[in-house]
Amino acid sequence: MDKLTVLIGRERIAAKVAEIGRHISEDFAGEPVVLIGVLKGATIFLADLARQITLDVSLDFIAVSSYGNAKQHSGEVKLVKDVDRSMAGSNIILVEDILDTGLTLTFIQSMLRAHQPKSLKIAALLNKVSRRTEPIRGDYVGFEIPDEFVVGYGLDFAEHYRNLPDICVLESGPESE
């Protein structure tokens, strides 16, 4: 049986998402922004964040494969779904659930730079800075968290737990895969 312990509760998440939304609204005042969500983990954060931004917001999504069902990063990132339109001249905010090693966002960032956007920022709800192997940092970061495997608020373990309203540490399960 998996053991789940709440690490960040829903009220703290909501307050932080509102704060990030305010910062983005101030930083891009008067300009349109495109939120690009990394499927599937970022979807719930993106849905809440979009509603906290008081600008002209459009949405797009990217899918990559890297983690599978295991805890460890495979070290390889492959594009599974590209954005639907050209991002030339756009203010892109890349929305991700968690910055871990940084491999995923480094890959997506360089891919999106080829579109020649006006600006390209990263919003990551969670940051496991101790795990970073790539020289990348988020521009809008929600919470610094320890090196624990977390689920909930979009984050899964083998496609389970994405719908949990809180971010929880999963204390058993991944090792038995």
User: Which residues here bind ligand 5GP, judged by CB under 6 A?
Assistant: 41, 66-67, 73, 96-104, 149-151, 155-157
Which of left, alpha, beta for 84 (phi over 0: left; psi -120 to 50: alpha)? Answer: alpha
- Catalytic residue from among 2, 56, 82, 100: 100
Instruction: Return the closest-CA partner of residue 114 out of 92, 99, 136, 141.
Output: 92
CB neighbours (10 Å) of residue 149?
Answer: 16
Residue 100: active-site member: yes
The minimum distance between CB 54 and ligand 5GP, in angstroms, equals 27
d(CA 144, CA 152): 16
Cβ nearer to ligand 5GP, comparing 57 with 62: 62
DSSP state of 174: G
DSSP state of 131: G
The minimum distance between CB 64 and ligand 5GP, in angstroms, equals 8
Cβ nearer to ligand 5GP, comparing 48 with 96: 96
Instruction: Return the closest-CA partner of residue 42 out of 137, 142, 134.
Output: 142
54: tokens are 């008081």
Cβ nearer to ligand 5GP, comparing 92 with 167: 167
The residues that are catalytic are: 100
